[in-house]
Homo-oligomer: A and B are copies of this chain.
């Protein structure tokens, strides 16, 4: 629109674009991500009646001692906004997957507990989930690729923590 002093804004106006190899990697990653999340969610939904979000909530609860967690602990594990968690738990409570009570220790707080039905469901869903994970990803890769993938994920997560410390919360 308006003419600018070129040198000062050099990297704003002309960044280092991706070369062919980088472009392929980036597009591939984005497309894989979209496809994979859609796939996982769809399978869980149609085979178990759980969304991926439901699954994650129940998974964390079922791994916790007594199948119960404080709301904020759950939120930290999931890295969800508190309002999202609150609303989601309301819906899950209505479906009899979890219960909520006031904490005895801290009157502000809520304790979330997985129900028998929730426990039942997550046990089926976990089998489905691991089978899908194998089928779509894990079993498709060599041992080397698996190791590299882990390394990549570690690096990126670490980097994101630096770039975006708030990280959705």
With A1-B120, A18-B130, A153-B28 known to touch, is A136 a contact of B160 (CB < 8 Å)? yes
Residue from B12, B16, B18, B153 in contact with A32 in the complex, judged by beta carbons closer than 8 Å:
B153
Chain A, interface size: which category?
35 or more
A108 sits at the interface (CB 8 A): no
A154 to chain B, nearest CB (A): 6
Contact B33 A127 (CB under 8 A): no
A140 sits at the interface (CB 8 A): yes
Name A's interface SS: helix
With A16-B134, A140-B155 known to touch, is A37 a contact of B26 (CB < 8 Å)? no
Q: How many copies does the complex hold?
A: 2
Q: In the bound complex, what is the Cα–Cα distance between A105 and B109 (angstroms)?
A: 62
Residue from B11, B24, B137 in contact with A150 in the complex, judged by beta carbons closer than 8 Å:
B24
Q: In the bound complex, what is the Cα–Cα distance between A148 and B74 (angstroms)?
A: 34
Question: Interface 1/0s, chain A 24-56, versus B by CB < 8 A?
Answer: 111011011111111100100000000000000
